[in-house]
A and B are shown apart, each in its own frame.
Chain A
Amino acid sequence: MSLIRLEKRPAPSALLSAATPVLAVIATMIAGGVMFWALGANPFEAIRTIFWDPLFDPTFGAYSRPQLLVKAGPLILIATGLALGFRAGIWNIGAEGQYIMGAIVGAGVGLALYPTETRWLFPLMVAAGAIGGWAWAMIPAFLKTRFGTNEILVSLMLVYVAENILASVSSGLLRNPEGHGFPGSRNLARDFPAASNPELIAGTGMHWGVVAAFAAVIFAYVLMTRHRMGFAIRLAGEAPRAARFAGVNPARLVLFSLGTAGAFAGAAGFFEVSGPAGQISIDFNSGYGFTAIIVAFLGRLHPVGILLAGLLMALTYIGGELAQLMLTMPAAAIQLFQGMLLFFLLAMDVFANYRLRFGTPEVA
């Protein structure tokens, strides 16, 4: 018998569930420091550049502080939607595709009405973006409920399809007719005031997408704690058999959670394309749909946790850019860093779910 054994806890420890993300961040900082050291940088300087300088550096702080909300907004909005499904054991990992399609449909509606100047245009585009993402998510949802097709693979395959559609429309259907043949749509943020998503309060990075992200967090919190659907989601995730006996309809759950996640991701895509990115171009999407998966887990699939995790992950994005600039760190290093964080988090969950026991078991 081995010296260390794992003993399943009757229920996951609440204290440790909250503590593991913090421990995982610390472990990632240490392992990341070793990685930066191996890349030839001073590990302490690298960690400070990523986690401290974006907020408090006297020269860069003023530029990078607003970026925190700009980058956290889409991450939180997407992750909040994803977490609803993950809680119920429904794995939508194609948020990147829903995000792209939302951006295309939202921007497409606006561009079709160019140069309208009405204040109803922007809400219309937001709705179109959300519907675009929702519709894209409904493909795996429908196939899952109608035929039982695996939603993981379908939603992921649709990311590649969406990327091809993006490549196609940015040099075809939505290309700027006054762009001298260059790929990319009209710049919504610069040339089309009614369709733009500007910074609401100067110097904060706050735009409508960030407002939507906060609203989504509140929505998800109320849903999970106060609404029947939230109860059904939790029950289906924690005790699928009990959920069936309680009359939870699995098809409705799939349609709701995939649909909500798709709508959130689609809206996030539209807010991005009409604000920070400015235009539909072949590479406007920056992988937020995938990073949001890490954010959802890091936030323990809980709305408030996701809010904090989104801010932290945004910090690593900005810090990573700063490290590229200051320490000539490769861009991929930060991606690796984020992957590492998810690994550490999942590994440390063992302490929340199991007790460590030393020595041989007593005979009962």
Chain B
Amino acid sequence: MDLGQINPILLIASLMVASTPILLAALGELVVEKAGVLNLGVEGMMITGAVVGFAIGVNTGAPLMGFGAAALAGAALSLLFGFITQILKSNQVATGLALTLFGIGLSALIGKPYVGIKAPSFPRLDIPLLSDIPVLGPILFRHDLMVYVSLALVVAVWLILARTRAGLILRAVGENHAAAHALGYKVVRVRLAAIAFGGALAGLGGAYVSLVRVPQWTEGMTAGAGWIALAIVVFASWRPWRVLLGAYLFGGVTVLQLNLQAAAAQFPLASLPIIALLVLFWDSMSQQRRGLPLSTRRKVVYLAVVLVCLPATFLWWNVWTTFKVEFLSMSPYLVTILVLVLISVRGTHGAPASLGRVFHAST
């Protein structure tokens, strides 16, 4: 076990880089969902943004042009979704899935000539004075422009949603589209604007993957980041600051597992029985909360779980030592599932009431 090779300052700094794509995409989707639209096409828009941003970045030599083009591409693709769901009133879940499948195909087609090319370098913006502060400097103030943009967007989205009239209208449309319509707000127009904003941010997030984080183009390179962004919106209970927290948490898991792969560290052996015991504890607590006594049947099940856990730990150890790389690579997805479960136990508070419902003005 050699955790000493991991430098905590570099770890946190690279955490911010790893989180930025998810943060951007999740922030965009937050606004879309606040307007009452569920766009499951985030992955498709991200991957399209990744390839368009990369292509334009390589061709012009200017990464900023790439980011601009990626935002436009993401917005254009999202408006296709917007047209079909808002004007033609299709099912949002199915249309979002279609957008993802379409985007993956489109990006592979566009990206064919760009495989194996290196991205133009995107300079780091060291903020003078602040970047010289020990510890905090390298963590917070030695990043590229997009990291700062993503943080500024968190503030902007929060301010607009919470403090402005436009934000209030957007939330009204998302909470009760019939009432918003009756008050004279253009539900479809507000939603289309939100969808385009979400698409642009997903495109930016994708471009950040291909231009900065990796930095090159490979097919399917976003590898589920768009879906994780969707999970983060749920995790964040539809609040911008919690989106930031969630994105950085997931970025942390990603960076940590990459570092652990490099350091070939051993995973805590006891994780499986600990998880099992936590589940048992939790179950008994929820029984207690409901005021129910623990039945004999439950106690038998608990005993069985504990008995199974002992040989399972041994097995886990064997499997683990053979396949640690794969286990580490799947950890971000497992953590996402775990977080989703924890969130759903608490209950999905804060979901916009009209989320995913088709709006059709009867008059």
Interface residues of A (CB under 8 A from B): 6, 8, 91, 93, 143, 147-150, 152-154, 156-158, 160-161, 164-165, 167-168, 172-173, 290, 293-294, 297, 330-340, 342-343, 346-347, 349-350, 353-354, 361
> Is B223's beta carbon under 8 Å from chain A?
yes
User: Which of A160, A332, A349 sits near B108, CB closer than 8 Å?
Assistant: A332
B105 contacts A338, C-beta separation under 8 Å = yes
A353 contacts B337, C-beta separation under 8 Å = no
The minimal Cβ–Cβ distance linking A342 to chain B, given in whole angstroms, is: 4
**Contacting residues of chain B (306-328) with chain A, CB-CB under 8 angstroms:** 322-323, 325-327
- Chain B contacts for A294, CB-based, 8 A: 98, 101
> Is B230's beta carbon under 8 Å from chain A?
yes
A-B contact pairs, 14 of them (CB 8 A): A6-B360, A152-B40, A153-B227, A156-B227, A160-B223, A160-B224, A168-B322, A168-B326, A290-B101, A331-B108, A335-B104, A335-B109, A342-B97, A350-B89
Q: Given A149-B340, A164-B329, A297-B94, does the pair A6, B89 have CB atoms closer than 8 Å?
A: yes
User: Which of B103, B107, B323, B330 sits near A160, CB closer than 8 Å?
Assistant: B330
User: Which of A6, A160, A332, A339 sits near B333, CB closer than 8 Å?
Assistant: A160
Tell me the nearest residue of chain A to B109, going by C-beta: A332
Tell me the nearest residue of chain B to A93, going by C-beta: B97
Chain B contact residues, majority secondary structure: helix
B80-103 CB contact bits vs A (8 Å, 1 = yes)? 100110001111011101110111
- Chain A contacts for B40, CB-based, 8 A: 152
Q: How far is the CA of A172 from the CA of B325 in the complex (A)?
A: 12
B337 contacts A339, C-beta separation under 8 Å = no
- Chain A contacts for B329, CB-based, 8 A: 164
User: Which of A6, A158, A331, A339 sits near B98, CB closer than 8 Å?
Assistant: A339
- Chain A contacts for B262, CB-based, 8 A: none
Q: Given A93-B97, A161-B330, A340-B102, does the pair A168, B323 have CB atoms closer than 8 Å?
A: yes
Centre residue among B84, B91, B326, B345 by max chain A CB count within 10 A: B326
User: Which of A330, A333, A346 sits near B95, CB closer than 8 Å?
Assistant: A346
4 further A-B pairs in the complex, CB-CB below 8 A; given A150-B234, A157-B227, A160-B223: A143-B344, A148-B348, A335-B104, A343-B102
B109 contacts A342, C-beta separation under 8 Å = no
Q: How far is the CA of A212 from the CA of B88 in the complex (A)?
A: 37
A343 contacts B323, C-beta separation under 8 Å = no
Q: How far is the CA of A330 from the CA of B107 in the complex (A)?
A: 12
Q: How far is the CA of A346 from the CA of B89 in the complex (A)?
A: 9
> Is B336's beta carbon under 8 Å from chain A?
yes
- Chain A contacts for B325, CB-based, 8 A: 168
Tell me the nearest residue of chain B to A339, going by C-beta: B102
B224 contacts A332, C-beta separation under 8 Å = no
The minimal Cβ–Cβ distance linking B314 to chain A, given in whole angstroms, is: 16
Tell me the nearest residue of chain A to B334, going by C-beta: A161
B109 contacts A330, C-beta separation under 8 Å = yes
User: Which of A8, A147, A361 sits near B344, CB closer than 8 Å?
Assistant: A147
Q: Given A152-B93, A335-B108, does the pair A347, B84 have CB atoms closer than 8 Å?
A: yes
B89 contacts A342, C-beta separation under 8 Å = no
Q: How far is the CA of A150 from the CA of B40 in the complex (A)?
A: 13
Top-7 shortest CB links A-B: A339-B102, A332-B108, A335-B105, A336-B105, A168-B326, A342-B98, A164-B330
> Is B106's beta carbon under 8 Å from chain A?
yes
B224 contacts A346, C-beta separation under 8 Å = no
Q: Given A143-B341, A153-B340, does the pair A346, B94 have CB atoms closer than 8 Å?
A: yes
B90 contacts A157, C-beta separation under 8 Å = no
The minimal Cβ–Cβ distance linking B55 to chain A, given in whole angstroms, is: 14
B363 contacts A333, C-beta separation under 8 Å = no
Centre residue among A93, A143, A346, A350 by max chain B CB count within 10 A: A346
- Chain B contacts for A161, CB-based, 8 A: 330, 333-334
- Chain B contacts for A165, CB-based, 8 A: 326, 330
> Is B112's beta carbon under 8 Å from chain A?
yes
- Chain A contacts for B231, CB-based, 8 A: 153, 157
User: Which of A160, A354, A361 sits near B89, CB closer than 8 Å?
Assistant: A354
Centre residue among B84, B98, B102, B107 by max chain A CB count within 10 A: B98
The minimal Cβ–Cβ distance linking A90 to chain B, given in whole angstroms, is: 11
Tell me the nearest residue of chain A to B330, going by C-beta: A164
Q: How far is the CA of A172 from the CA of B234 in the complex (A)?
A: 36
A343 contacts B340, C-beta separation under 8 Å = no
A339 contacts B344, C-beta separation under 8 Å = no
Tell me the nearest residue of chain B to A297, going by C-beta: B94
- Chain A contacts for B89, CB-based, 8 A: 6, 350, 353-354
- Chain A contacts for B348, CB-based, 8 A: 148
Q: Given A153-B230, A332-B108, A343-B102, does the pair A164, B326 have CB atoms closer than 8 Å?
A: yes
